[in-house]
């Protein structure tokens, strides 16, 4: 099974999905995805029941957007928004290794009971 094709790329300077965090990044993602699919702001606004001006404000980073709303907008483009989490490779400042807490020890154990 092949990996899903990515519609949008991370902005230059973003090293991972974890750095994809600001209003501008969400707007950039929306704009790149919309343009690659050949959809205008007006068309997307009509599909989503919002104004094209609102789509423009999101794309320019002038207004914030929730993950839920972003998912709704890209769904109108025929794209599923998915998020993933993975632990950092190094322990946190407290010495706790997130990978061990979330996924158990390296030998396959589950999360530690609290």
pLDDT score of 43: 98
97/111 Cα distance (integer angstroms):
12
Report the Cα–Cα distance between both ends of the chain, in Å, rounded.
38
- pLDDT at position 25 is 84
pLDDT in tens, the chain (114 residues): 333 444 455 555 544 444 445 556 889 999 999 999 999 999 999 999 999 999 999 998 888 889 999 999 999 999 999 887 776 666 555 556 665 666 665 544 444 455
Domain 17-75: CATH superfamily, name plus number: lambda repressor-like DNA-binding domains (1.10.260.40)
Return the pLDDT at 75: 96
Q: What is the pTM of this model?
A: 0.59
Q: Where in the chain is the domain with CATH 1.10.260.40?
A: 17-75
Could you give the CA distance from residue 24 to residue 63 in angstroms, rounded to a whole number?
9
Q: Of all helices (H) and strands (E), which one includes residue 47?
A: helix 41-48
Question: Which pair of structure tokens corresponds to residue 28?
Answer: 């950039």
């Amino acid at each position: 099974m092949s990996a899903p094709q990515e519609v949008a790329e991370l902005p230059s300077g973003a090293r991972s999905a974890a750095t994809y965090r600001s209003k501008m990044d969400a707007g950039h993602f929306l704009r790149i995805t919309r343009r690659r699919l050949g959809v205008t702001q007006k068309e997307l606004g009509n599909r989503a029941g919002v104004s094209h001006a609102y789509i423009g404000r999101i794309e320019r980073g002038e207004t914030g957007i929730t993950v839920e709303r972003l998912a709704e907008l890209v769904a109108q483009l025929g794209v599923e928004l998915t998020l993933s989490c993975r632990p950092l490779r190094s322990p946190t400042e407290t010495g706790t290794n997130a990978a061990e807490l979330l996924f158990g020890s390296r030998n396959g154990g589950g999360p530690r009971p609290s």
